[in-house]
């Protein structure tokens, strides 16, 4: 050993000048508050000009420019070029708006940088609290399992992993190839594609999702489901789960969840509900009955970033049998073992309840949003959105150039511009062109889907900023675009 003291230069990422950082932080908050406050005065979507796009291909910086200069670049080349989903006239796909309070909560979570994997620490306790609030809202026991995840897709996947392992106990160790009969699962033709994705990922294969026909209201036909299960059993397949959708992505249809629960019980199979956005209905006394039967589910997947208006990304899956959930994900790893005291002694080990080990403090923005507003406010906002959908539908029905293309169950409205004597293909081309012009026009953003071969304009209202006049404008803009195209 030497006792020569050498001078070493050691670095950190902390700022040299904390006061400058504080001033920069205040500027950032000011700018973002202004951005959200004035969002409705801006265009909805603004495509980026070429000189901005070029910066998105800049090489990896070797030397830093400093926080202030990096922030200037953010303001110029990033902030203005989202899809516009915070805007009161954005209703595309099922895209959430977030909220100003949720924005600040994101700052808190980033500032704490809590690691919500396990341990006796606030982040796991708060996530547990948020999950039991949700279990209570949906009528599941308070001690149900659950875990927060990034998305409804991940929530469906997580629920179906638990379903597979519960129904096919050999699969976890030996793979689904070790199970004697091929497993199949059931959902309606309107089921979200994330379920097909999940079936592939969990080794059942995408063709294992049996797509059951729907009725005129786009709800799963229960007698057809019964027939499919019987026929599959007959040929040696192994039905393991039925999936109900509370709010389909295409039209907002809600399957008869009580009837599906009865079918699942009768056959001794898992009942999973995809309530990605339909979960919001649970906050309303008036609308909650539409998802009656959800309390009978074995697992429920849902998003916070859709109809709870929480900023991206935030979703959860609840699992009635927490033990089943643990069996799918718990591992004996020496470096993750529990102890009698200290950090590893308490809290909830979320790394044993889902795929992720490292996980952020995603529950904080839900917790702060619920605390700020109270759940009754969400009930009113969800009702407001459903009433707006009814209002839009009435405008469409009254207009001679517009046609409603699916029944309005909750907050999704589909319609198209029609011209007498036009062929099906001409109408599809016309409505596709209208949609693109609407996006480019910057006034309104709907999305689209295809229903029985018809290209339709689709509005999904999970937007707390929309007011009725916004839907008047949507109808005007759509008709104006259609008229302009047909007049040539």
Ligand X SMILES: *Cc1c(COP(=O)(O)O)cnc(C)c1O
- Note the residues at the interface with ligand X (CB under 6 A): 94, 151-153, 192, 194, 245, 247-249, 274, 276-277, 303, 315
Kindly tell me which of 210 and 272 has the beta carbon lying closer to ligand X.
272
- What's the length of the chain? 488
Name the minimum Å distance from CB 256 to ligand X. 16
**Numbers of helices and strands, H then E, in the chain:** 15, 11
In the complex, what is the shortest distance from the CB of residue 277 to ligand X, in angstroms, rounded to a whole number? 5
Cα→Cα distances 218→159, 191, 246, 324, Å? 24, 10, 12, 32
Cβ nearer to ligand X, comparing 270 with 307: 307
Q: How far is CA 61 from each of CA 65, 363, 398, rounded to the nearest angstrom? A: 9, 33, 57
Q: How distant, in Å, are the alpha carbons of 45, 141, 365 from that of 304?
A: 23, 20, 10
CB of 83: closest distance to ligand X in angstroms? 14
CB of 379 to ligand X, least distance (A): 20
Task: State the maximum Cα–Cα separation within the chain, in Å, rounded to a whole number.
Answer: 95
User: 84 vs 152, which CB is nearer to ligand X?
Assistant: 152
Of 198 and 353, the one with the shorter C-beta distance to ligand X is 198
Closest distance of CB 41 from ligand X, Å: 28
User: What is the C-alpha to C-alpha distance for residues 240 and 291, in angstroms, rounded to an integer?
Assistant: 23
What are the tokens at 238? 């192994």
**Cβ-based neighbours of 354, under 8 Å, separated by 6 or more:** 147, 149, 158, 317, 329
Bridge partners, residue 274, by sequence = 245, 301
CA separation for the pair 417, 446 (Å, rounded): 14
Going through 232-335 in order, the beta strands assigned E by DSSP cover: 238-245, 270-274, 299-303, 315-319
Whole-number minimum distance, CB 94 to ligand X, in Å? 5
- Phi and psi angles of residue 91, each rounded to the nearest 5 degrees, phi first: -135, 25
Minimum distance from residue 366 beta carbon to ligand X (Å)? 14
Nearer to ligand X, 210 or 306 (CB): 306
The smaller minimum CB distance to ligand X, of residues 106 and 247, is found at 247
Give the residue from 195, 84, 96 showing the smallest Cα distance to 460.
Answer: 96
Nearest residue (CB) to ligand X, 249 versus 281? 249
Rounded least distance, CB 298 to ligand X, Å: 17
Nearest position to ligand X, beta carbon: 152
Of 274 and 298, CB closest to ligand X: 274
């Amino acid at each position: 050993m030497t006792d020569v003291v050498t001078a070493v230069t050691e670095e950190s990422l902390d700022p040299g000048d904390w006061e400058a950082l504080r001033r920069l932080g205040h500027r950032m908050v000011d700018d973002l508050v202004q951005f959200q406050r004035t969002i409705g005065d801006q265009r909805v979507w603004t495509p980026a000009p070429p000189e901005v796009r070029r910066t998105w291909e800049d090489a990896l910086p070797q030397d830093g420019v400093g926080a202030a200069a990096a922030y200037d670049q953010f303001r110029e080349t990033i902030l203005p070029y989202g899809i516009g989903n915070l805007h009161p006239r954005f209703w595309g796909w099922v895209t959430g708006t977030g909220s100003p309070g949720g924005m600040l909560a994101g700052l808190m979570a980033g500032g704490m940088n809590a690691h919500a994997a396990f341990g006796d620490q606030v982040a796991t306790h708060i996530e547990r609290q948020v999950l039991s609030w949700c279990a209570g809202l949906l009528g599941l026991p308070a001690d149900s399992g659950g875990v927060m995840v990034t998305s409804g897709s991940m929530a469906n996947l997580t629920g179906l992993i638990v379903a597979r392992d519960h129904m096919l106990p050999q699969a976890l160790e030996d793979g689904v190839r070790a199970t004697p009969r091929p497993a199949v699962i059931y959902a309606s033709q309107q089921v979200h594609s994330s379920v097909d994705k999940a079936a592939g990922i969990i080794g059942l294969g995408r063709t294992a999702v049996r797509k059951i026909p729907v009725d005129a209201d786009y709800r799963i036909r229960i007698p057809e489901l019964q027939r499919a299960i019987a026929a599959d059993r007959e040929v040696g397949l192994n039905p393991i789960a039925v999936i109900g959708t509370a709010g389909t992505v295409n039209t907002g249809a809600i399957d008869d969840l009580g009837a599906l629960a009865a079918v699942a019980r009768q056959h001794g199979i898992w009942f999973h509900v995809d309530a990605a956005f339909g979960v919001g209905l649970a906050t309303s006394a008036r609308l909650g009955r539409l998802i009656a039967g959800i309390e009978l589910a074995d697992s429920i997947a849902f998003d916070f970033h859709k109809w709870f208006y929480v900023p991206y990304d935030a979703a959860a899956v609840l699992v009635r049998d927490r033990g089943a959930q643990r069996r799918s994900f718990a591992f004996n790893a020496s470096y993750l073992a529990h102890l009698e005291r200290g950090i590893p002694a308490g809290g909830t080990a979320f790394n044993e309840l889902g795929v992720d080990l490292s996980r952020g403090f995603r529950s904080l923005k839900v917790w702060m949003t619920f605390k700020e507003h109270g759940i009754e406010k969400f009930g009113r906002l969800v009702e407001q959105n459903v009433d707006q959908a009814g209002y839009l539908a009435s405008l469409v029905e009254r207009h001679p150039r517009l046609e409603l293309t699916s029944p309005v169950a909750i907050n999704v409205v589909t319609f198209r511009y029609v011209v007498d004597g036009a062929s099906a293909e001409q109408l599809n081309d016309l409505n596709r062109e209208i949609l693109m012009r609407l996006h480019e026009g910057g006034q309104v953003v709907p999305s689209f889907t295809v229903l029985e071969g018809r290209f339709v304009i689709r509005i999904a209202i999970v937007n707390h900023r929309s007011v009725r006049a916004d839907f008047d404008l949507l109808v005007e803009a759509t008709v104006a675009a259609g008229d302009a195209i047909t007049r040539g």
